Amino acid sequence: MVSREGLGSWLEGGSVSGSETSGSRLGLPESGPGSKASLGRRVVALGVDWVVATLIAILLFRPSATGVFEMVSQLPAWAQPAIFAAMNLLLVSTIGSTIGHRLLGLQVRVLRAGPHEAVGFARGAVRTALLCLVIPAVVWDADGRGLHDRAAGTVIVRR
């Protein structure tokens, strides 16, 4: 009979032996450009992207309120998520980083590919769709990659 321990799980990402780290298992350098991005930087970049999407929604829909929170509450419920998704899809697919990624020195790369290979529309679409579902983005494997990056075959690295 096969047990879960015998098979492992995608969440576990296999065993880590000795000094092997998730960055080295992914074929990434330990530090510097091309190394795996930290969780803190990724979360801040996500926040920046959400704020940018909100500002764009405010400019497009021009709510009549004067306060920021009142303006946001007057936006259509779909506006911010749709703009956020469009920004992610277009920017990650073409230049490999969103505005938040760029400001924090991060880049989305195809795993085990050259640093200048474009993510492309198909990978960008898979990654964006799963990112917008939220749950895949907050479920990480042992390498610290979210399910959205794992499914798309991408990784967020330092520039």
Are the CB atoms for 64 and 17 separated by under 8 Å? no
Mean per-residue pLDDT pooled into runs of 10, the chain (159 residues): 45 45 66 80 94 95 86 92 96 95 94 79 94 87 85 90
pLDDT tens string 48-69: 999 999 999 999 998 888 888 8
Extract long-range pairs of 23-29: CB within 8 Å, 24+ residues apart.
23/143, 25/143, 26/111, 26/112, 26/143, 26/145, 26/155, 27/111, 27/112, 28/155, 28/157
Question: Both tokens of residue 138?
Answer: 């907050």
pLDDT tens string 69-87: 898 989 999 999 999 999 9
Residue 143's φ and ψ, nearest 5 degrees, are -85, -5
Please give the model's pTM, rounded to 2 decimal places. Answer: 0.79
Output the pLDDT for position 108. Answer: 93
